[in-house]
Structures are given as C-alpha cells and as structure tokens.
C-alpha cells in the first residue's frame, strides 16, 4: 500500500511515503503537491525508488501534518441519511428536499485552515455547539492530455489520485444563524478542517469498487473512546467519479484539489440531535478527543482546545434606501 504523507522531524518539514511504520522522505524541495502534478503513474515509480534509497525515520518519531497543501476544497453533501438528520436539527423539518436528489451539491471551504491528525482544534469565538463531520476526501492529480474541464465520470475517475480522511469541523450555532441568510455556511465552517493521516493512492482501491463505482468501506467516529457513529462509504448518493465530473462541468478541476464526500450517516452530532430531538450526545467541549477511522485508509485523532474569547459579530447599520442623491452630485465626492 502506497501512503503519501507530510511530517515534521528533526527541525524540518518533509514529504514522502510511509511504509511499515517507517517514513521515507523525498529529496529536499520535493513536496506532495509535486507528486500530484506528476500524476499517479509517475508517483508509484517515485515511491518504489524512494523506499529503496531514502533515509528512514520511524513513524512514531515524527509529527504528521495534513498530507497536502490543497489548491481548493469542495465539500459535498452526498449522504441522504445525514441530510435528513441535519435538516431536522437545523430547520426543524423532516425529510430531504427534492433538489438534493437532482444533482450533487457542494460548497467551497477554507484551504488555509487545514490541520493534521494530532493538532489541537480550538473552539471558535462565540461557539457553544462545536461538532465534527466524518468524511472521506478524494485528492486529485494530473492526468496527461486532460485539462480538467467538462469531464465524464469515466474521465473523472482517472483524475482521482488517492483518498484521505476529512473532518469538517462545524460550529453549529454559528452555522444555523448564517444559513438563514440563504447563502451557506461561513464562520460556522472556515476555522478548521483536518485531513490525514496520509493519502492512500487510488490504485489500492480499484478492486474494492462495486459494479456502480462505490466503495463499500467502513467509516467510524468515536468521542473519548465511545463510538458515536458508523457507516459505509458506499451509502453515498453518487460515487466519487460523478462528484469530480460534476465539479468540472463548465469549470475546471486541478491537481491538489480536494473533494469531500460529505458527512456519512450518523457521522456528526447535529444529525443525532435532529433524530433524538435534543443535544444528545452533547456538543464537543475542551479536552474531548475525536477519532475517525476509515477502512483501508487509517485513523485521525484531534483534541478540542480552548474557546477563543472574542466578539466577532458586527451588526449591520440601518441605512435609508435613497436613490436620488449621490456623493458626487452632492459635492461631497
């Protein structure tokens, strides 16, 4: 199994491969993003050479980082069960809107706040309902001869370089207020995403796909050692190839793009709050440990840190809706 990672060790940041509990670094100046630009076939050759020649470091002695610096992060909402539960939690309405079934839906989240396994995740200012979201993400790589535009599902499948685990941390109380404006989440989402522990290359999953292109691998999340939820990745409404293809329509996908599956069924607290009619299990608090495990990939674990003490909301100023006088015409410009 080829596992691609980034880590800190001996005062430096390294990129390379993990095999049998040992880390093998690429030469200085070479990064995971260079591998994504090279494409999967070239990367597999580079991995074989690196494992033969690179100086080894024990995995136990390094600090793993997010396995890439993403170009973009698109996060889909591809699990029907999750949509049903969260809608009840946020809107108080049962069922799934008809539009969900018509096409995949995603939002762009912040690639600059990506964290790795082991990082402490602070609670954002004003948040009392901190939550996690258990996801798998596809990482895209270069495909010779493709510009990443208007891809078919078959073409899009070739762009999937590998898979990693994604925790889309969510401040649910902030999110509830924001989404009433009908634009989507902003500060309820952009404070942290965790990727890791590494990227497992797509060739390792080829024999696991079912006949429709789905991956029937298990996803599991625990808080403080207690299982909160479990699902199969194959319960997505669309396989990853169709998500990538949809993202590329009248647009473009590039190496280093990350596409999240969306939260699996029972993979977050908000979904369970909607089903239970109460905040059971309770929101995350300082000191809680969240561990996600995905079959054929691995596990990530993060501890919740302190809440930032600040007031960030700024109320709008009430303004008249004059149309007749501008600053220029009034002589003030």
The alpha carbon of residue 261 and the mean position of all alpha carbons in its chain are separated, in whole angstroms, by 8
CA distance 168 to 217: 19
**What integer is the mean pLDDT of 229-244?**
98
**Torsion angles phi and psi, residue 87, rounded to 5:** -60, -40
Partners of 232 in beta bridges: 218
Rg of the chain in Å (alpha carbons): 21
Query: What residue has token string 């992060």?
Result: 73
Residue pair 2/48 in contact by the 8 Å Cβ criterion: no
pLDDT in tens, 15-28: 999 999 999 999 99
**Torsion angles phi and psi, residue 242, rounded to 5:** -70, -30
Question: Virtual CA dihedral for 152, 81, 260, 165, nearest 10 degrees?
Answer: -130
Output the pTM of the full model. 0.96
**pLDDT tops 80 at residue 128:** yes
DSSP notation for 118-154:
T-EEEEPTT-S-EE--EEEEEEE---TT--SSS--HH
Spell out the domains of the chain, with CATH numbers in brackets. 3-64 (no CATH), 73-307 (3.90.850.10)
Tokens representing 319 are 């303004």
Partners of 203 in beta bridges: none
Cα 311 to Cα 122, 127, 139, 306: the distances in Å are 15, 10, 36, 15
Q: pLDDT grade, residue 330 (50/70/90)? A: low
Q: pLDDT grade, residue 332 (50/70/90)? A: low
Residue pair 64/197 in contact by the 8 Å Cβ criterion: yes
Other CB atoms closer than 10 Å to residue 196's CB: what's the count?
A: 29
What's residue 94's pLDDT? Answer: 79
pLDDT in tens, 183-206: 888 999 999 999 999 999 999 999
What's residue 159's pLDDT? Answer: 98
**What integer is the mean pLDDT of 107-135?**
97
What's residue 198's pLDDT? Answer: 98
Residue pair 229/266 in contact by the 8 Å Cβ criterion: yes
What's residue 237's pLDDT? Answer: 98
**pLDDT tops 90 at residue 219:** yes
What's residue 331's pLDDT? Answer: 63
Q: pLDDT grade, residue 180 (50/70/90)? A: confident
Query: What residue has token string 């994504």?
Result: 36
Residue pair 32/68 in contact by the 8 Å Cβ criterion: yes
Cα 171 to Cα 105, 218, 260, 315: the distances in Å are 20, 26, 18, 19
Task: Identify the CA nearest to 162 among candidates 324, 3, 333, 332.
Answer: 3
Q: pLDDT grade, residue 89 (50/70/90)? A: confident
Cα 107 to Cα 16, 123, 189, 204, 292: the distances in Å are 30, 22, 10, 28, 22
What's residue 333's pLDDT? Answer: 56
Residue pair 1/207 in contact by the 8 Å Cβ criterion: no
CA distance 152 to 156: 6
Higher pLDDT, 31 or 93: 31
Cα 116 to Cα 113, 157, 257: the distances in Å are 10, 26, 17
Percentage of the chain surpassing pLDDT 90? 87
Q: pLDDT grade, residue 323 (50/70/90)? A: confident
The average confidence (pLDDT) of the chain is 95
Q: Which residues contact 126 (CB under 8 A, 6 or more apart)?
A: 171, 173, 174, 310, 311, 312, 313
pLDDT in tens, 32-83: 999 999 999 999 999 999 999 999 999 999 999 999 999 999 999 999 999 9
């Amino acid at each position: 199994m080829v596992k691609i990672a980034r880590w800190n060790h001996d005062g430096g940041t390294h990129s390379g491969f993990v095999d049998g509990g040992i880390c093998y670094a690429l030469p200085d100046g070479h990064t995971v993003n260079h591998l994504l630009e090279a494409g999967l076939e070239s990367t597999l050759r580079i991995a074989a050479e690196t494992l033969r020649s690179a100086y080894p470091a024990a995995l136990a002695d390094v600090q793993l980082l997010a396995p890439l610096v993403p170009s973009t992060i698109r996060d889909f909402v591809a699990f029907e069960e999750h949509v049903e539960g969260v809608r009840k939690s946020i809107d108080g309405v049962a069922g799934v809107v008809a539009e969900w079934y018509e096409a995949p839906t995603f939002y762009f989240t912040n690639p600059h706040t990506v964290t790795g396994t082991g990082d402490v995740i602070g609670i954002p200012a004003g948040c009392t309902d901190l939550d996690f979201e258990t996801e798998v993400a596809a990482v895209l790589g270069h495909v010779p001869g493709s510009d990443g535009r208007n891809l078919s599902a078959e073409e899009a499948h070739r762009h999937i370089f590998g898979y990693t685990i994604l925790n889309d941390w969510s401040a649910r109380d902030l999110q509830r207020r924001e989404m009433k404006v009908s634009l989507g989440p902003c500060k309820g989402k952009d404070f942290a995403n965790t990727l890791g522990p590494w990227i497992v290359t797509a060739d390792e999953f080829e024999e696991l796909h079912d006949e429709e292109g789905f991956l029937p691998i298990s996803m599991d999340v625990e808080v403080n050692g207690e299982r909160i939820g479990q699902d199969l990745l194959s319960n997505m409404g669309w396989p990853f190839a169709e998500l990538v293809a949809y993202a590329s329509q009248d647009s473009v996908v590039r190496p280093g793009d990350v596409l999240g599956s969306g939260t699996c069924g029972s993979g977050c607290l908000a979904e369970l709050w909607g089903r239970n009619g109460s905040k059971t299990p309770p929101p995350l608090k300082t000191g809680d440990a969240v561990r996600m495990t995905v079959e054929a990939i691995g596990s990530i674990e993060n501890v919740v840190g302190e809440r930032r003490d600040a007031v960030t909301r700024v109320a709008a100023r009430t303004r008249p809706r004059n149309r007749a006088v501008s600053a220029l015409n009034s002589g003030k410009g």
